[in-house]
Amino acid sequence: MRLFIAVSFSPAALDGICNIRDALSLKLERASYTRRDNMHLTLSFLGECGGNEMEKACTAMDALDCKPFSISMDHIGSFHRGDGDIIWLGAKRSDMLLSLQKDLAGNLAERGFVLEKGKFRPHVTLARRAFPSFHEKAGVNPIVQEVSSISLMLSKRVDGHMEYTPLHVKNFCRL
Ligand code: 2AM
């Protein structure tokens, strides 16, 4: 099974993100747009895992000691790809988010996961295979989301669509 760990969004935040995606679609000639149900911010991509690794991922999440905090998604950017760009909504720099991602990666590494190297670029993918390219970073009205939990997600292709299902949730305690 293909797994990743992500922050999910409230219905109100999803409304705002979908509005941004829909406004973006007016400026693009073609793209494959992320469906509302699939919008998330990935903290760690685990790739193909067995049952044992799934258990380890759950303990890595449960070992986190994190308090709820807010993030603000405030700009659009892109990753250039040969088959068309990935266009995303990016999070404003947040030390809490960065340390959550770092602590999670550390807990996963302690349990034997070999994670992709590279800078963490917190984002929600809005569109893939987008044309034409979109070079500049553009500010948008911020979408604010409280991060009070993270989820272990199963990624599956069903009838030609990606379907993401939460398998485990780690809630953050206020006190
Ligand atoms: P993306 O949205 O930028 O593609 C599920 O595939 C989630 O894991 C997506 O949010 C995806 O990010 C992220 N992810 C990170 N690395 C990945 C990889 N090598 N392959 C597929 N998805 C990856």
What is the block-wise mean pLDDT of the chain (175 residues), using blocks of 10 residues? 98 98 96 98 98 97 97 96 94 98 98 94 97 85 98 96 97 89
Structure tokens at 128: 């893939």
Nearest CA to ligand 1 atom 8: 45
Q: Which atom of ligand 1 is nearest to the CA of 41?
A: 10
pTM above 0.75, yes or no: yes
Distance CA 112, CA 79 (A): 29
- Where are the alpha helices (H) located in the chain, listed in sequence order? 11-25, 51-62, 95-110
pLDDT value at residue 135: 75
Q: What residues line ligand 1, using a CB cutoff of 6 Å?
A: 4, 42, 45, 86, 125, 155
Q: Which of 62, 63, 59, 57 is nearest to 44 (CA)?
A: 57
Distance CA 99, CA 60 (A): 14
Q: How far is the CA of 155 from the centre of ligand 1 (A)?
A: 10
pLDDT value at residue 133: 86
Q: How far is the CA of 45 from the centre of ligand 1 (A)?
A: 6
